[in-house]
Amino acid sequence: MQEDYGEKIGGLESQLGDLMGQLGKQQQQQQPQETGASEYDDWLQSFATEQDKGSFDPNLFRNLLGELESSKRRQKDWSERSAKAAYKY
């Protein structure tokens, strides 16, 4: 079970890396200023309107980050439970 989470996390990190690469290429063309969270959301929204909407979804980036974090938490919880069970026996 723990290996399944590891594979899933690896896949999510790969997808996240691809999205980060797309954002990096765009940032070379236009450098956003240091922004707060709401300004960053505005920048992502303007980026999405400039790009083909089918090829970039700003919510996909947030969803992948959320899924990655929850997968890491599940893996950590599973590891802790496994360690506790092994300690009992």
> In the chain, where are the structural domains located?
1-21+57-89
Cα separation, 2 vs 77, in Å, equals: 10
User: Angle between the 2-29 and 58-88 helix axes, to the nearest 10 degrees?
Assistant: 150
In this prediction, residue 83 carries a pLDDT of 84
Cα separation, 11 vs 5, in Å, equals: 10
pTM: 0.32
CA distances from 84 to 4, 61, 74, 77, 81 (A): 20, 35, 15, 11, 5
Print pLDDT tens along the chain (89 aa).
556 777 777 777 788 778 877 777 766 665 545 545 666 677 667 665 655 555 666 677 788 888 888 888 888 888 888 888 887 76
In this prediction, residue 71 carries a pLDDT of 87
Could you tell me which residues come within 8 angstroms of residue 61 by beta carbon, excluding any fewer than 6 positions away? 16, 19, 23, 44
CA distances from 5 to 18, 32, 65, 69, 84 (A): 20, 35, 15, 12, 19
